[in-house]
Amino acid sequence: MIRYALKCDKDHGFEGWFANSTAYDDQVARGLVTCPHCSSVKISKAPMAPGIAGTKKSGKSKSEIVDALRHVREHVMENADNVGDQFASEARKIHHEEAEPRGIYGKATPEEADALSDEGVEFHPLPTLPEDHN
């Protein structure tokens, strides 16, 4: 996901979250992004300050954070149904109440993920862990 600072032609500022920059461009071009203040569809990106990591310590080590992400992923995999390559199809069925509501996980192509996002289907990628790159 990517977060953009946005503004309308009346200079109202707000933020929007998109699957990627292509999803943002497509949604703005189709008039799907509207100003929450005045409903204008004339939207552009506003200047943003870069997110720079500071020297302030969070109190958590990198190892503790990775362990927490590992725990989240394991919890999902133990408590949800693995629907494999049918993730996008099954997520749509659940969203449209054509299938039993339940937790699922599986695989989706970037194009399938963009389409789900555009359709308003809520989903979250499982955390990527260091061992995934071995």
CA-nearest of 130, 131, 125 to 109 is: 125
Number of C-alpha atoms within 13 angstroms, CB side, residue 97?
0
Q: What is the pLDDT of residues 104-125, one digit of tens each?
A: 999 999 999 999 999 999 998 8
So what's the pLDDT on residue 54? 58
Using the structure block, give the residue that is written with the tokens 């989706």.
108
3-state secondary structure of 37: coil
Q: Compute CA distances 29 → 4, 25, 42, 86, 106, whole Å.
A: 16, 6, 9, 29, 31
Tell me the sheet residues that pair with 43. Answer: 8
What DSSP designation does 119 have?
T
What is the pLDDT confidence band of residue 128, given thresholds at 50, 70 and 90? confident
Evaluate if pTM is beyond 0.75: no
Q: What number of CA atoms fall less than 13 Å from residue 30's CA on the CB side?
A: 8
CA distance 27 to 118: 8
